[in-house]
Structure 1
Amino acid sequence: MISTVSSNSYIWNLVLFLHMVLEENEHEVVNIGPGVPDALLVDSIQECWPDAVVISSVNGHGFLDGRRMIRAPRRDEVGRDMPVMIGGKLGNLGAENECYPQELVGAGFDAVFADASPEALTSYLRTLPAATPHQSSPVGSSRKAAATR
């Protein structure tokens, strides 16, 4: 599943680019669009049961929005243990942005890709376990493969 931090409401091009990169690397993608509010992210996770959630940022608010955003899936029964990663422009401090990845991992992200190439993301996704069918889902649907090889 892919989306952006909530303040990136105008960047469809990035979401479509990320979508294409993941599909070219043989991942099934559920694209919930840019600028998604935290509650909609959790609703989408509950509905789709993706194997991973990828959040992107280009406006430099990735750290601020991401730190807030990750709390919602981590409080949810379905999203609690789901791999969630964030990448892109995390802040506007230049070299001082180096502190953000560790803080975002501490906040609950499984991986952080600060200004990284798409290859770093796809390599990481290949390390995740493949989806396995679940006996039951809190929302009554089976888990979809949404970002696995």
Structure 2
Amino acid sequence: MERAENNCAEPTLGRATVVISGTVSDAHTWNLVYLQLLIEELGLHAVNLGPCVPVDVLARECRELAPALVVIGSINGHGHQDGLRLIEHLRADPLLAELPIVIGGKLGIADDGVERRALALTAAGFDAVFEDAASGVAEFRDFVQAVTHPAAEGLELWT
């Protein structure tokens, strides 16, 4: 699987790179395009790998690109299951063990169990979990800003 040239803007000196990917079982694309536009709106370089990305391809791209953040999006209801397998593989790679990785979207097929899924995903190694909720976009935006634009020591982070 090769990165589609139209899925990623040319990096600009000084801009952090964020890799965006769907899970291996999720063929939806609109959510990934939305995430790409949101990331670019924040002034970051977005590399959108697209839907149904095999974990080994995601790992290879992350090793090659050395992103500041990886964002996994899923809306088919299987993000929890796919995410657990994905994060285990990525965290086992010494080059990716400390890389900030988040997951979000519709991560389960039922509305109950949201907290349980989030706890399992963070315990497995995700740095943050953003379930499909009204507050999710604002929380995600704040998280991305904090990870990619850390405040200088002794200075407060402007929001």
Could you tell me the TM-score, scaled by structure 2's length? 0.77
Residue of 104, 122, 125 corresponding to 2:141: 122
Q: Spell out, residue by residue over 1:54-102, the C-alpha distance to the aligned partner (whole angstroms, 9 max, x if none).
A: 0011000011000011011101122110000000011012122331001
> Which one scores higher on RCO, CA 8 angstroms, separation ≥ 6?
1
What letter matches 1:55 in structure 2? Answer: I
Higher strand share: 2
Whole-angstrom CA distance in 1 between matches of 2:31 and 2:49: 13
- 2:14 aligned partner: none
Could you tell me the TM-score, scaled by structure 1's length? 0.82
Residue of 89, 92, 95 corresponding to 1:72: 89
Q: 1:10-29 maps to which residues of 2 (within 5 A)? A: 11-29=28-46
Gaps of 5+ in 2: 1-18, 151-159
- 1:41 aligned partner: 58
What letter matches 2:138 in structure 1? Answer: E
Whole-angstrom CA distance in 1 between matches of 2:97 and 2:55: 14
Residues 51, 130 of structure 1: 8 Å contact kept: no
- 2:75 aligned partner: 58
CA RMSD of aligned residues (A): 1.4
Residue of 13, 25, 30 corresponding to 1:7: 25
1:102 and 2:87 correspond? no
Residues 73, 105 of structure 2: 8 Å contact kept: yes
Residues 24, 51 of structure 2: 8 Å contact kept: yes
Residues 21, 118 of structure 1: 8 Å contact kept: no
What letter matches 2:124 in structure 1? Answer: A
Percentage of matched positions with identical amino acids: 36
Gaps of 5+ in 1: 132-149
